[in-house]
Amino acid sequence: MTPAIEVTDVTKRYGSLQALAGVSLSVAPGEFFGLLGPNGAGKTTLISILAGLTRPSSGTARIMGHDVNGAYREARRALGVVPQELVFDPFFTVREALTIQSGYFGLRDNRAWIDEVIDNLDLSDKADTNMRALSGGMKRRVLVAQALVHKPPVIVLDEPTAGVDVELRQALWRFIRRLNHDGHTIVLTTHYLEEAEALCGRVAMLKQGRIVALDKTENLLRLHSGCYVELRLAGLLPPQLEPLVAERRDDGAIRLALPEYAEVERVMAALREGRVAVKEMEIMQPDLEEVFVQIMRKA
């Protein structure tokens, strides 16, 4: 099957800055794929290359099998991009902006779908409002709508929830999940790792223009099979547990990092032996954020 996105050995250099240092990845149709990494890791550069906004220094990128430079018309028709910056055209209303955007894609009569998108993104009240008069959250919704006017099979969202309130964020994810459910391939960059963990089936982590991890989200989580034990004790921590301490908080809580779940028993035994009473105890699974921090530290 033709991959929805196929990136092969892509590099990008801006003067002395190596934004991408050889990235290859493939996203299958229907996947919900996360692109994670700290600021400056190259996420937006990679997305810009997919969108044809940036030209790679070397390597190739394909959308649904179409080269983004050689077959740019087909590639762009297959791709919808929600840019990171909150951009808008101040001359137009929401409906005008969407009608114009679908015209650029060669769609003459797209009213029914535009209405559906407007409705699904809760923009009906604002359809005839000028873009200038919209709040930041509303502008963000319009950006999502603009990316969808031509029903692209592949949708890329570059930090769509940055600076967006909780309610909109949830509404947005419900809608995007539905699109994914209907067969659209979704690629997402976000700084909210709990979002990526909840949504993405597979994740690539970028650092300094390189992929440092690329796997199913569940595998990445399993990779770090240990757990955390957070304790509040009536006395001092037994010395043999000292090497496990990950963090001592100001309020007296101690966090121990255990390499595997079974180690909990050893902690309990040590506490019993030292006759230290436990006031509170909580066992926690690592989340994607933890995994992310560890991978970034190692890479």
Partner 1 sequence: MTGFYTLFYKEWLRFWKVSVQTVLAPVLTALLYLLVFSHALRDRIEVFPGVDYATFLIPGLAMMSVLQNAFANASSSLMQSKMTGNIVFVLLPPLSHREFFLAYLLAAVARGVIVGVGVLFASIWFIQLPMAHPLWVLLFGIAGAAAMGALGIVAGIYSDKIDQLAAFTNFIILPLTFLSGVFYSIQSLPAFWQAASHLNPVFYMIDGFRYGFFGASDTSPWLSMAIVGGSFIALSWLTLVLLKSGYKLRH
Which residues of this chain interact with partner 1, rule CB under 8 A? 14, 48, 51-55, 72-74, 76-77, 79, 81, 83, 85, 87-92, 96-97, 100-101, 103-108, 146, 150
Comparison of 120 and 146: residue with beta carbon closer to partner 1: 146
Q: What's the min distance (Å) between Cβ of 42 and partner 1?
A: 14
SS3 percent helix, strand, coil of the chain, rounded to 5, is 40, 30, 35
Q: What's the min distance (Å) between Cβ of 156 and partner 1?
A: 10
What does the alpha-carbon distance between residue 101 and residue 106 come to, in Å, rounded to a whole number? 9
What does the alpha-carbon distance between residue 92 and residue 106 come to, in Å, rounded to a whole number? 19
Q: What's the min distance (Å) between Cβ of 113 and partner 1?
A: 15
Comparison of 53 and 223: residue with beta carbon closer to partner 1: 53
Comparison of 153 and 201: residue with beta carbon closer to partner 1: 153
Q: What's the min distance (Å) between Cβ of 24 and partner 1?
A: 22
Q: What's the min distance (Å) between Cβ of 282 and partner 1?
A: 46
Comparison of 144 and 196: residue with beta carbon closer to partner 1: 144
Comparison of 50 and 213: residue with beta carbon closer to partner 1: 50
- Are the CB atoms for 186 and 148 separated by under 8 Å? no
Contacts of 157 (CB under 8 A, 6+ apart): 82, 144, 147, 176, 186, 187, 188, 189
